[in-house]
Amino acid sequence: MIAAACPVLLAATMLCATPAAAQQLPQRDGEGAPLLVLAPEWLFDAASGRMLPGREVLVRGERIVAVQEAGSPLPPGTQRIELAGHSLLPGLIDCHTHLTFDIDPGWVHRGVIETGADAALRGARNALLTLDAGFTTVRNVGSGDFADVALKRAIERGFVPGPRILPACHTLSITGGHADVTGYAPGIAEQDPEHGVADGPDQLLRAVRYQIKHGAEVIKICATAGVLSWEETVGAQQFTEEEMRVIVEEAARHGIAVAAHAHGTAGIKAAIRAGVTSIEHGSILDEEAIAMMKKHGTWLVPTTVLADNLDLSLLPAPIRAKAEKVLPMAKQSLRRAIAAGVKIAFGTDAAVIPHGTNALEFAAMVERGMTPTAALQSATIRAAELCRRPDRGQIAAGLLADLVAVPGNPLRDIHALERVDFVMKGGVVHRGL
């Protein structure tokens, strides 16, 4: 949701906190950057899971300088941002998005009628929606023609507003698998290892190295078949365990994690044994798979709200039948994983749900049995851990000044996270009260 900008009190000056006005504030640490103090009603301490009253956060440039008791002395010239009645949170992190894609009319044939340039421009719109919703970091787990890398660079250069992006570039798939373009005559939209479609160790090494060469910060693989593709079986294992191990070992040499799209139980277990960092979706988990995830420290990124919000009318009949079969199973699997204490990080599969509605995932996680505190931690400190980004996910001195404010206390009303009123990214006010 994009709200019209309203005034924010900065000392005695009323500034309009639109993206244009935000450019007036320094974006990096440096001499002359003003000291800002944010004064919320409550502050979420992600490490302890507590909501702390009476705290103020000092920001200079793109970093948090200090967290102190409200009313503590401030240097002359400090500019004040009042957030009365609001909870201040670390910038939210969505570990499973597809910013350059949408499930909307015409999506089925988009891959053969549009280019990477179309995808990047679509992504610019969706990046703004995502940042407006309070998500200051995302993992973009799959995008064609390196459109996610182009979008990341455009955001970093200030060409367009959006969250920090960890791109995966092309999702890796077997020939004819979930991330391959199928259903067309031979010769149409055929893919190669550079574009993520690879079979066997040699091709997979080429595919992994090529994605990393061109900007991948996480490698995404399809361990199993999926819903939004033309395979008849939704959960059948696709890559062999040996193939997945080749991918994991090569990515590890570059210090990069592997996220495995996996619905079916056999493929989930093979991916865990191969050493993937996270299971994405995890729709059909049995007790053995859950025990394996706990033993190996494998993360689950459940993307569960789409089971409630996916517009089935947009799906062709064969794909809709798969969704109707697997999504109820996914909800039950998540309930078991939560009860068992599997490590869980926040992800939405945004594109499958509309971009900008990411925060609906919180209430869905709580409905499946997660506490509001754990749900909020999954999108802050836990997501930062999964993403290997220790410079965010908490409100603490020295970390990035990525901050979000919502009305009231979201630990009492989880739906408050759907009503973001204030967004700061890197010390720049993107959206104000």
Domain ranges of the chain: 7-91+393-431, 92-387
Residue 251 has φ and ψ, to the nearest 5°, of -60, -40
Which pLDDT does position 23 carry in this prediction? 34
Which pLDDT does position 365 carry in this prediction? 98
pLDDT in tens, the chain (433 residues): 333 333 333 333 323 333 333 333 333 444 578 999 999 999 999 999 999 999 999 999 999 999 999 999 999 999 999 999 999 999 999 999 999 999 988 888 888 888 999 999 999 999 999 999 999 999 999 999 999 999 999 999 999 999 999 999 999 999 999 999 887 888 888 899 999 999 999 999 999 999 999 999 999 999 999 998 888 888 899 999 999 999 999 999 999 999 999 999 999 999 999 999 999 999 999 999 999 999 999 999 999 999 999 989 999 999 999 999 999 999 999 999 999 999 999 999 999 999 999 999 999 999 999 999 999 999 999 999 999 999 999 999 999 999 999 999 999 999 999 999 999 999 999 999 8
Cα separation, 139 vs 256, whole angstroms: 13
H helices within 133-256, ranges in order? 147-156, 200-213, 241-253
H helices within 342-406, ranges in order? 360-367, 372-378, 381-387
* β strands within 91-200, DSSP E: 92-97, 135-140, 164-167
User: Which strands form 164-167's sheet, in the order they lie side by side?
Assistant: 92-97, 135-140, 164-167
Coil, strand or helix at 156: helix
Q: Please identify, in words, the CATH class of the domain defined by 92-387.
A: alpha beta
Which pLDDT does position 187 carry in this prediction? 85
Cα separation, 293 vs 226, whole angstroms: 21
The catalytic position among 102, 152, 220, 322 is 220
The catalytic position among 349, 402, 421, 425 is 349
Beta strand 135-140 pairing with 164-167: parallel
Sign of torsion over alpha carbons 79, 47, 262, 271: positive
Which pLDDT does position 24 carry in this prediction? 36
Q: Residue 71: is it exposed, middle or buried by C-beta count within 10 angstroms (0-12/13-18/19+)?
A: exposed
Task: Note whether 92 and 410 are within 8 A (CB).
Answer: no
Q: 135: closest CA among 380, 366, 395, 318?
A: 380
The fourth-level CATH superfamily of domain 7-91+393-431 is Urease, subunit C, domain 1 (2.30.40.10)
Cα separation, 304 vs 353, whole angstroms: 11
Active site residue 349: yes
Which pLDDT does position 17 carry in this prediction? 35
Which pLDDT does position 207 carry in this prediction? 98
- Residue 128, H or E segment: helix 116-132
Structure tokens at 57: 């956060």
Active site residue 148: no
Fold: same for 7-91+393-431 and 92-387: no
The string of DSSP codes covering 190-210 is ---GGGTB--HHHHHHHHHHH
